[in-house]
Amino acid sequence: MIEIIEEVHRSGARLDATLAALTDPEVCAPSALAGWNRGDVVTHLARSVDAYLWLLAVARTGAEPGPRPGTERPAAAVATELATALATALATALAADLRTRLARLAEAAASMPAERWDTLVTALAGWRHPAWYTLHRCWRELETHHVDLNVGYRPADWPPAYVTWALDDTLGALAARDFPVARVEAVDLGRTWTVSPTGPDVVGPGHAVLGWLSGRTADAPPTSGGHSLPDPPNWPLPPAPGWS
């Protein structure tokens, strides 16, 4: 568990360094996500950490610590509140808010009793996973939305450890859904995955494959024989085979 806690810390530190360099006008500039500015992305990340803290509290105590983040108010009310906050918040304030929440998450993870990490919790989308998977979800959010800020951090900058885990997770989920790609080879990672009995083979750098699967790169990676690739489903997917 220490390793994933450290990975989340490193991802948060890289993102914090990026945010520290942004001016107020740059925070209000468009992100790579349609309809979102950079401040929206940072605020979304902060609220996601709140959700992970809530799940860890459920795992630790067996009880819900108040209303679940993201469910206690209508979405329109939250959107209005965020728009108002972004109109007045400084870049440093948004960065500090996210930094504070990540520090709380680190504290919550460090204090979690070892026997509680396997406790099943329920994602807002309805699927269940062990409490330890919450940290992997946070890792994925930090790395993915760092790219979404559109400030120079690219899929090629993703750490190999993150790309390897995310491909394991994503391709396992796609295999369970019979996604029509036969084989994926990440040439830089020395890893190969079998996904489906039929379909083209995908061969390329791991970050390029993950960027395609996650919708963070415009170009699909190369295939054997130049075959066209299917469109990936909405990402991220619930893990497979999953936990009941």
Q: Token match 């994503």: residue?
A: 170
How does pLDDT run across 6-58, given as a tens digit for each residue? 999 999 999 999 999 999 999 999 999 999 999 999 999 999 999 999 999 99
Structure tokens at 130: 């062990």
Q: What is the H or E stretch that residue 207 is in?
A: helix 206-213
* CATH code for the part of the protein at 160-226: 3.30.1050
Structure tokens at 22: 């942004």
What helix, strand, coil percent values describe the chain, rounded to 5? Answer: 55, 10, 40
The per-residue pLDDT for range 100-116, each reduced to its tens digit, is 999 999 999 999 999 99
| pLDDT given at position 206 | 96
Domain 2-116 CATH (choose: 3.90.1150.10, 3.40.50.150, 3.40.50.300, 1.20.120.450): 1.20.120.450
Q: What is the 3-state secondary structure (H, E, C) of 38-66?
A: HHHHHHHHHHHHHHHHHHHHHHHHCCCCC
Amino acid code (one letter) for 69: P
- Domain chopping of the chain, boundaries: 2-116, 160-226
pLDDT at 29: 94
Whole-number pLDDT of residue 74: 47
For the stretch 211-234, pLDDT in tens is 999 999 988 787 777 778 889 999
One-character DSSP codes across 162-187:
HHHHHHHHHHHHHHHTT-S--EEEET
pTM for the whole thing?
0.91
When pLDDT is cut at 50, 70 and 90, the band that residue 136 belongs to is very high
Cα separation, 166 vs 172, in Å, equals 10
Q: Which of 85-94, 117-126, 179-188, 210-219 has the lowest mean pLDDT?
A: 85-94
For strands 120-122 and 128-130, give the pairing. antiparallel
Q: How confident is the model at residue 70 (pLDDT cuts 50, 70, 90)?
A: low
Over residues 205-212, mean pLDDT: 96
Q: Where are the beta strands (DSSP E) in 19-167?
A: 120-122, 128-130
CA distances for 214 relative to 142, 217, 218, 222, 233, angstroms: 14, 8, 10, 16, 9
pLDDT attached to residue 220: 78
More confident residue, 242 or 224: 242
User: For residue 89, is pLDDT > 90?
Assistant: no
